[in-house]
Structure 1
Amino acid sequence: MAVTIPQLLARNRNYRLLWAGQIVSDIGDHFNNIAVFALAIRQEHGGLLVGGILIARAIPMLVAGPLAGVTLDRYDRRKVMIMSDLVRAVVSLGFIFALAQGSNTPLFILSAILMFASPFFTSGRNSILPVVAGGQELQAANALTQTTAWATTGVGAFLGGTSVAALGYEWAFILNAISFLGSAACLMAFRTRPGEFLPPLAHTKRDFHPHREFLEGLRYMRSEPLLLAIALIGVGWATGGGAAQILFSVFGERVFHRGAAGIGIIWGAAGCGLVVGGILANWLNKRLQFEGYKRTVSIAYIFHGALYVAFALESNFALALLFIGMSRAAGAMSSVVNYAKILQYASDQYRGRVFATMETMTWSTMMVSLFVAGIATESVNPRTIAAVAGVLSGTTGIVWAWANWRGKLRLPENRN
């Protein structure tokens, strides 16, 4: 019988610590995001500058993602995550220096370093989840972990927007650094057995060859059609999802004329929708058979794209917030059920590389999408860009349905 979320939190100390660290860290991230984007969007050619900063954050993922994957599949995953938190705390304080310089160059450099360190933590958190909360606890842990990430998007974006407006940019960056230190402290407080977070490869005497081991991970994903399909559907979403990252700032500042607070409110509405979708997905996932799961993914992506188009075209701010919330709820449902399948079927030997590769593929596509959107904001109506982004993301559901109809989405032969 599956464990409920209250039961999971009541009896699993390590997961409570992981969850607490996630809350403070994720909220802190949005203090940084809102502050940096608000700084950029107010300048001349602000939309292009935001796009440049997002690209500066995305490019390091091309290198860091594969490296993080092989590192997490070779060394103690908990210790790797702690090091990522400590590095990011120092970098976050560096943004205060960037303010004093009065130049945009440090924003690009620090954003790049921050994102280079990020996948060592985010992919690590996904990789250790079956160890922290295995067996009957895993489904509840997956749902709560993802739903919390989305809830903190709403809370963090709202607090980030209001704090920047009330306290200034320096405090946003200080609080971001403190959040990383809090996350590291939670991980250090784990009760662990020797070698508990060491992956299978750590026990071998084989030399560490990052390039070769990354290619082994790619071959493993290719051998498991369902895992590869889940990775590719993330790429399909990112064709429009990358543009969305810059458009939230543009819509808050230029379309609805509500400044940093408006950016935070839009992100907050999106976060609320993600939470609702995560809750619905947790309820639904307990009742879905495999064929029902595949239909749910297709339908959710189609609704996600259609509702994003509705957000793009709506002139009433309240209705626009409703549409973006519903769009994100549909996307969240697909994400939760997909991650449940990865955690269930991806081999522990390759789990770090699976999550890191997915993150790299998604960010690479987002980089192209946001670059094009950033350029387009200089001459094209933002509503038109957003509508195209919604169509691109929604089309992913049609491609998934076609793959299912052709019998390409089948369960992995080797199950955990």
Structure 2
Amino acid sequence: MAGSAARGRGDRRLRWLLASSAASNLGDGIGKVAFPLLAVTLTRDPLLIAGLSATQFLPWLLFALPAGALLDRVDRRRAMILANGARAVVVGGTAALVAAGGVTIWMVYAAALLIGFAEVVADSAANVLIPAVVGEGSLDSANSKLQATEIVGQTFLGGPVGSATFALFATFPFLLNSVGFAIAAVVLIGLAGSYRPRTAERATTDLRTELAEGFRWLKRSRLVLRLVVLAGAISLVSELAQAQLVLYAIEYLGLSEAAFGLFAFVGGIGGLLGAALAPRLVKAFSRRAVLLGGTACCGAAFTGMGLTSSPVAGAALFGLFAAAVVAVNIVLGTARHTLVPGDLLGRVLGVWRTVVWGAIPIGALLGGVLTHALGSPARTFLTSGLLLFGVAGFAFVSLRPGAFDDESATEERVLHQDR
């Protein structure tokens, strides 16, 4: 009875968190389309347009580590409320400037940067809240639901809503974006309880010392360190091809711009299928098997895309990649929640996100160089697919059977929390 009651509370708390995440991801999806569209109306300088994308990634490189340390000190729910509230204010101010006709490209840059810093806090807080919110519930299921809300909000709803409303009235998507973030903040008020790490009350050291503590723990935990390296490798190698997706679809497969939207839509469907199937696959096999199989499927999908000239086959293979990479992300997220002590989760997540998100612009740049050298985006997909098979091989060698149930890692986790 007590276990059922705890699971019931966990389900209710998870629903509040998912509702907030759904609203904020819808806002993210709208903003990721509306801000570039706004920038194009202000300048056609390709460097300034490209710089806006880099600006949106910059906070993850600069702030993920200190944000993680901060989240190990404060109530994570309150941090998420404040971050979403800040995003609502900044986007609302941008909407007012657009309506008044007083916005400049540098104001767009500043808004994107401020929103990016708040996004680091909000997204990281949502991730580290999962174990505390779920309680005795399934971490695999919770992580798959969080992935599904992100895919639906950003891929299926946010992008189309952002582009359609911008075409009607340029201020409109920014108003919707602001409202979405405000709702995300308000919904979290229903998430009752304190979500401040227990050790935060005893924290007397500065952030630099606490970051060093997180690095030391990560260095000692060889399993988690290998997972960080694996996640970074998947991010880097897959981005070689993903950054060339529009060229692959339009130049190589000969699709129109409108058809490319359908191509990307298939990827979204694949992502949802991956989120739905991942918990069942973990139960049927193991986390290690899903991780290895998912990475190998990513390699098979990109290799196939590099070898086919059929738009239908290319779209289906891209959907397979999306399903596989989402399943891999769910396994990695659950492993992180299971193996990392709660009072260190923010700092370890900061390192993790810095590596993974930092690999994205590097992979994109290398992908462009590779396509230029090889003369075809299809060959870049083929290269990325073969490299992903290599990453799967690294995972097979470095993660022994039963690695995610390592009793020594669990013991280390308990010892740390009991200090």
TM-score (norm 2): 0.83
1:204 matched to which residue of 2? Answer: 202
What displacement does 1:63 show? 2.0
Which residue matches 1:128? 129
How do 1:109-258 and structure 2 match up within 5 A? Answer: 109-156=110-157, 159-160=160-161, 163=164, 166-167=167-168, 169-192=170-193, 196-207=194-205, 209-243=206-240, 246-248=243-245, 250=247, 258=256
Q: Which residue of 1 aligns with 2:277?
A: 280
What is the match of residue 401 of structure 1?
396
Q: Any idea what SS the aligned residue of 1:286 has?
A: helix
Q: Shift of the alpha carbon at 1:180? A: 0.8
SS in 1 for 2:91: helix
> Are 1:17 and 1:189, in contact at CA under 8 Å, matched by a contact in 2?
yes
Deviation at 1:382, TM superposition (A): 3.8
8 A Cα contact 2:91 2:175, kept in partner: yes
Query: Which of residues 325, 350, 363 in structure 2 aligns to 1:356?
Result: 350
Which one is further off, 170-179 or 306-315? 306-315
Confirm or deny: 8 A CA contact 1:51 1:371 kept in the other structure: no
Question: Which of 295, 299, 306 is the matching residue for 2:293?
Answer: 299
- For the 8 Å contact 1:239–1:369, the answer to whether it is kept is yes
**C-alpha distance in 1 between matches for 2:163 and 2:107:** 24
Amino acid at match of 1:215: A
Tell me whether 1:21 sits opposite 2:20 in the alignment: yes
Deviates more, 1:86-95 or 1:122-131: 86-95
Quickly say closer, same or farther: Cα 1:158–1:119, change in 2 above 3 A. closer
Q: How far did residue 120 of structure 1 move?
A: 0.9
* Residue 126 of structure 1: how far off its partner (Å): 1.6
Cα deviations across residues 259-302 of structure 1 (Å, max 9, x unaligned)?
4x5564444322211111121111122233xxx43233122112
SS in 1 for 2:229: helix
- Report the 3-state secondary structure (helix = DSSP H, G, I; strand = E; otherwise coil) of the residue aligned with 1:414: helix
SS of 1:74 mapped into structure 2: coil
Task: Kindly name which structure, 1 or 2, has the bigger radius of gyration based on alpha carbons.
Answer: 2
Instruction: Determine the C-alpha separation between the residues in 2 that align with 1:221 and 1:299.
Output: 26
Structure 1 stretches lacking a partner, 5+ long:
none
* 1:51 Cα offset (Å): 4.5
Q: State how far apart, in whole Å, the 1-side matches of 2:155 and 2:308 are.
A: 21
Check if 1:347 corresponds to 2:341.
Answer: yes
2: CA distance between counterparts of 1:91 and 1:71? 22
Q: How many residues align?
A: 404
In the alignment, is the contact (CA less than 8 A) between 1:54 and 1:370 conserved in 2?
A: no
Displacement of 1:150: 2.6
2: distance between equivalents of 1:23 and 1:346? 26
Matched, 1:35 2:39: no
Q: Give the Å deviation of 1:354.
A: 1.6
CA distance in 1, matches of 2:8, 2:267: 26
Are the aligned partners of 1:59 and 1:367 in contact in 2 as well (CA < 8 Å)? Answer: no
- Stretches of structure 2 that go unaligned for 5 or more consecutive residues are 415-419
TM-score, normalised to structure 1, is: 0.84
Aligned-CA RMSD value: 3.5
Distance 2:190 2:86 in 1: 19
After superposition, the C-alpha distances for 1:136-190 in whole angstroms (9 at most, x for unaligned) are 3434322222232233343135534652575354322222221111110111222
